Amino acid sequence: MSPASLLLPSAQECRMTVTVSASGLGLRYGRTHALDDVSLRLGRGVTGLLGPNGAGKTTLLRVLATAVPADEGAFTVLGHDPATARGRQELRRELGYLPQTPGFHPDFTPFEFVDYVAILKELTDRAARHREVRRVLAEAGLDEVRGKRVKKLSGGMRQRVALAAALVGDPGFLVLDEPTVGLDPEQRMRFREVIARAGEDRTVLLSTHQTEDVAMLCHRVLVMAGGRIRFAGTPAELTARAAGRVWSSTGRDPGAKAGWRTGAGTFRNVGDPPEGADLLEPTLEDGYLLTLDGDPAEVTA
C-alpha cells in the first residue's frame, strides 16, 4: 500500500468523525528516519499501533502527545494545532499520555502522584480534583494501595499508576505506549477493560506488541515498519490479508515464510501454500506477519 493511497479515506473512515489527523510527519535521529512521511486519521474508539521494535511507534506516539516536535509535517488533535504555543496548550488539556517508560517520584503515594499530575493538568479545584483522582485510581484498580509509596509497589501496580495518571482529567485523546507490557494475564484483562471503556467516547491510540490486545480491543489497526505506516484498516481487514495463506502440514514446509510445530504435533505455516494444502483459519497475527513480510528491505530498516 503506497503512502498516497493511505491518504485516501477508506469507506470506514468516511463514516467516522475524524478527531486526529496527521500528514507528512517526519522525524530523524541522526541519519535514521524514525518517522518517514507518516499520515493518518483517527476517530473515536481504540486504534492499535502494531510494529516491530524500532518501527517508530514510540516516536509517533511522542509526536502526537507533543512530547517531541516533529521535523516535518503537521497534525491536529480535536481541532487543536500544536504548531502554536496556544494550540499545543489546548491540545495538552485534552491529552492523556502513558509513556513507554513512565518514571515516578518514589516517595509519592499513587494518590499524591496522580494528584500532582492532575494539578499539572490544571485541575485546580481541590475537592473536585481529589474526587477525580479517587475516581481514576478506582478505575485503575488502585484503591487498596493508594496510600502506599510508589517505591513499594510492584511493576504491574506502577503501570496502573501511570495509567491512572493518563486517565485523570477525562482527556479526549489518550495515547498509551505499550500499556500492557510486563503485566500478568489478569492485570492485562483489567487494563483491556479500562481501555475499552475509555474508547467508548474518546480517541485512544495504543501501541503494542500483543496482537491479541489489538484483536480484542481495537476498532482500527495501524501497522508501522521502518518509520512508515504499512497498513491502516480494521482488524478484520488485517486478518483477511492472510486468508488462504495459512496451512497445516505434517513437516516443516520449505515454502513457508514462517512455520512452527503446534501443540497438536502438526506444523502451522504462513506464506504461499503449495497446491492442495490444508488451509487454516487465519488470525490477526498471520495478517500482521504477512504485512511486514511484504517489503523485507524496509521492514528490517
Partner 1 sequence: MRGVIPALVVPVWRTLPWRTLGAAGAVGLLAVGLPRLSGAHPDPWTALALLRSAALAFALGLAFLLDDPARHTTTPVPTGRAARTALRVALVAPVAALWWTAVLLLAPGAHRPPTGAVTLEAGATCALALAAATVAVHRTDAPRPGRPAATALLATALLAPLVVSDRWVLFVDPRDPRWATAHEHWAWLLAGAVTVGCLTLGEPLGRFRPTADRPT
- State how far the Cα of 230 lies from the Cα of 213, in Å rounded to an integer: 19
Cα atoms found within 13 Å of the Cα of residue 192, Cβ hemisphere only:
18
- What's the min distance (Å) between Cβ of 37 and partner 1? 16
Residue 47 vs 66, nearer CB to partner 1: 66
Residue 6 vs 61, nearer CB to partner 1: 61
- What's the min distance (Å) between Cβ of 253 and partner 1? 32
Residue pair 130/136 in contact (Cβ under 8 Å)? The answer is no
Residue 38 vs 256, nearer CB to partner 1: 38
Interface residues toward partner 1, by CB under 8 A = 29, 32, 34, 53-54, 58-59, 62, 65-71, 82-85, 88-89, 92-93, 95, 97-108, 112-113, 115-117, 119-122, 124, 126, 162, 165
Residue pair 49/208 in contact (Cβ under 8 Å)? The answer is yes
For residue 124, which phi and psi values (nearest 5 degrees)?
-95, -20
Residue 32 vs 234, nearer CB to partner 1: 32
CA 138 to chain centre: 23
3-state secondary structure 161-224: HHHHHHHCCCCCEEEEECCCCCCCHHHHHHHHHHHHHHCCCCEEEEEECCHHHHHHHCCEEEEE
- State how far the Cα of 94 lies from the Cα of 200, in Å rounded to an integer: 16
Residue 39 vs 59, nearer CB to partner 1: 59
